[in-house]
Structure 1
Amino acid sequence: MSVRLSRHFENFTPALKTVVSRRKRGVYETNRRPLEPSVRDDRGRLVRSIGKAQTFLTEAQVDQIIDLYKGGMSMNRIAQKYRAHRRTIAAHLTRRSVSLREQRSLDPSDTPEAVRLYEDGMPLLEVGRRFGVSQHAARTAIAGAGATIRPKGRIPRA
């Protein structure tokens, strides 16, 4: 009994053709990238991905972040200091089981004055700054008091 080996090897299956094609193109060669990223700055090691850079905070930096946050510094200020995103700071605090402070809302005793200022033409941003809250917090309080919120854009001159 003779075995015709050519019959077994001349009709490649589609999967085998794919493997051969990939091998010829070098897909299965070892990765030539260095293990350590070449991009570094005063913050430490950076990893570049498509369109964004990530900063890795050390354990000591995370400890400092926790101390600053517990000392009363806002997440936005901490994020500016460490040149990281505010949500990154929040994620580190959450991972370390630090309870996050509630967002400041407009004090109910200040709401009538905020409504009066807004209805007199002051923008929501300025109302928020006047009372030390965000524009969104001012808008929520003013709308909750029953005032009509103006459409976005510039106020037309009379």
Structure 2
Amino acid sequence: MSASNRGELLAGYGERVPVQELAARFNIHRATVREFARRAGYPSRAPEHSEQLRAEAARLYAKGLTLIQVAGQLGISDEAVRSAVVATGRTIRPRGRHPINL
């Protein structure tokens, strides 16, 4: 990545542009965006999703929806759902069909 592009990326990171957006803009992986920011001395960002959204994700998963179903319903990634579930002290179910408890 050129120095000018790296500068632009870091400026965006400093302005709180979402990491996913920066990764898409510069055609790099999200982890690469975070690594450039870390090397430049930026502090690690707090979770990008609100506590309310994370709680809702965990609640829907606990009702029986899959990670992908919850992600689709809330417009977040399945990894964000997984993180929310684990953060609430719950475990991820084994793969396979599970009844939905509505």
Normalising by structure 2, report the TM-score: 0.66
- 2:41 matched to which residue of 1? 97
CA contact (8 A) 1:124 1:135 kept: yes
Percent of counterpart pairs with the same letter? 26
Output the CA distance in 2 between the equivalents of 1:89 and 1:101.
12
Tell me, in whole angstroms, the C-alpha distance in 2 between the residues paired with 1:74 and 1:67: 12
Equivalents in 1 of 2:23, 2:32: separation in Å? 8
Per the alignment, do residues 137 and 104 of structure 1 end up closer, same or farther by CA in structure 2, a change over 3 Å counting? farther
| Stretch of structure 1 that moved more, 102-111 or 69-78 | 102-111
**Structure with greater proportional strand content:** 1
Distance 1:81 1:105, change over 3 A: closer
Query: Higher helix share goes to which structure?
Result: 2
**Structure with greater contact order relative to length (CA < 8 Å, sep ≥ 6):** 2
Using a 3 Å threshold, how does the CA distance of structure 1 residues 96 and 120 change in structure 2: closer, same or farther? closer
Residue number among 107, 114, 120 corresponding to 2:51 in the alignment: 107
Matches within 5 A, 1:136-147: 136-142=82-88, 144=89
Partner of 2:9: 65
Does the 8 Å contact 2:61/2:70 carry over to 1?
A: yes
TM-score where L is the length of structure 1: 0.47
In structure 2, the gaps of 5 or more residues are: none
**Could you say what the CA RMSD is over the residues aligned between the two structures, in angstroms?**
3.3
**Which residue identity is paired with 1:140?**
V
What is the aligned residue count?
97
Deviations 1:7-58 (A, max 9, x none): xxxxxxxxxxxxxxxxxxxxxxxxxxxxxxxxxxxxxxxxxxxxxxxxxx11
Aligned to 2:31: 87
Q: How does 1:1-150 map to 2 (within 5 A)?
A: 57-104=1-48, 107=51, 111=55, 114-128=57-71, 130=74, 134-142=80-88, 144=89, 149-150=92-93
- Deviation sequence 1:75-104 (CA, Å, 0-9, x none): 222111111122222222122112220234
Structure with higher Rg: it is 1
